[in-house]
Amino acid sequence: MNMQKNEIPWYESWFDRNYLQLYQHRNSHEANAQIDLIVRSVGLKKDQRILDLACGDGRYTHLLNSRGYRTVGLDLSRKLIDEGLNKYGPLNLVVGDMRAIPGTYDIILSLFTSFGYFNEDSENYRVFESVKSSLVDGGWFWLDFLNPRFIEENLVSETVTEISSTCQVIERRQIVKNRIVKDIIFFDGSEEKRYRESVRLYSRNELESMFTQAGFKTAGCFGDYQGNQWQEHAERTIIYGKKRH
Ligand SMILES: C[S@@+](CC[C@H](N)C(=O)[O-])C[C@H]1O[C@@H](n2cnc3c(N)ncnc32)[C@H](O)[C@@H]1O
């Protein structure tokens, strides 16, 4: 996992069209369920400024805007943003880094495991600081993250997926120290492309500590997109909190 000098970090190369192909089952049904949960948990209003942090191709930005919410999407991947603009039409999507968020918002959403990407804990914590400085007092931070326990208990070390008649993907997963690491190999015709995903396995307690340290008061924690309360075997860790005045 140690990076060679000058090697591009995994999160700068993986999020392209192939990522969208592999995760196409992450559909609007699931996204709409989470939006319903956000709306009823924080009492989301139409005049509030929302940031979809690490928005990918803007699937959430698009759905929020369709419901009349003022949403900006920010993502590091120019490729995914361009895919989204082609797919959904005009959307307010900007290229940027989650460690240095521009602008001010009433609520910031980090959805579908868009956290824990950096090698150092201090670097991941910088995201909390960046979120805090871009929120108004009393603003909300919503973090939809994995649950390490669920990952450990359900880890399938290798899967093969047929994406199309010519494209096959092998995914190899392992837990290395405190990270879930996935090697992804695309075979498309005669072309082979390799990627890696590596996410720090933050527990609920560790996430709550970061919320508190960064000056947030946590308001709740769900274990799935339907809004069931978190328990140790839950599929997700969805925590939200309010910036203290
Ligand atoms: C798992 S995807 C989730 C995308 C989107 N939230 C969704 O639910 O479809 C993670 C996203 O984080 C983005 N990302 C990775 N590193 C980033 C960074 N340093 N700053 C901003 N976005 C980043 C990737 O480009 C990718 O679009």
| Mean pLDDT within 17-36 | 90
| Mean pLDDT within 2-8 | 67
User: Does the beta carbon of 101 lie inside 6 Å of ligand 1?
Assistant: no
User: Does the beta carbon of 92 lie inside 6 Å of ligand 1?
Assistant: no
Answer with the residue of higher pLDDT: 23 or 201. 201
pLDDT, position 155: 97
Task: Please state the pTM of the whole predicted model.
Answer: 0.96
Would you call 127 helix, strand, or coil by DSSP? helix
Tell me the pLDDT tens digit for each residue of 210-232. Answer: 999 999 999 999 999 999 999 99
End-to-end CA gap in the chain: 40
Q: Amino acid identity of 63?
A: L
**Tokens standing for 190?**
């005669």
Helix (H) or strand (E) holding 242: strand 236-243
Q: Is the pLDDT of residue 156 over 80?
A: yes
Q: Is the pLDDT of residue 3 over 80?
A: no
Q: Is the pLDDT of residue 69 over 60?
A: yes
pLDDT, position 85: 97
To the nearest whole number, what is the mean pLDDT of the chain?
95
Under the phi-then-psi rule, with left for phi > 0, alpha for psi from -120 to 50, and beta for the rest, what region is 58?
left
| Mean pLDDT within 82-102 | 97
| Mean pLDDT within 161-188 | 96
Tell me the pLDDT tens digit for each residue of 115-139. Answer: 999 999 999 999 999 999 999 999 9
What's the CA-to-centroid distance between 24 and ligand 1, angstroms? 15
Could you give the domains of the chain? 10-147+202-243 (3.40.50.150), 151-197 (no CATH)
Atom of ligand 1 nearest to the CA of 97: 20
User: Does the beta carbon of 97 lie inside 6 Å of ligand 1?
Assistant: yes
pLDDT, position 73: 98
Tell me the pLDDT tens digit for each residue of 157-174. Answer: 999 999 989 999 999 999
**Is the CB of residue 111 less than 8 Å from the CB of residue 30?**
no
Nearest CA to ligand 1 atom 25: 77
User: Does the beta carbon of 16 lie inside 6 Å of ligand 1?
Assistant: no
- Which residue do the tokens 């090698």 mark? 119
Phi and psi torsions of 20, nearest 5°: -60, -35
| Mean pLDDT within 165-187 | 96
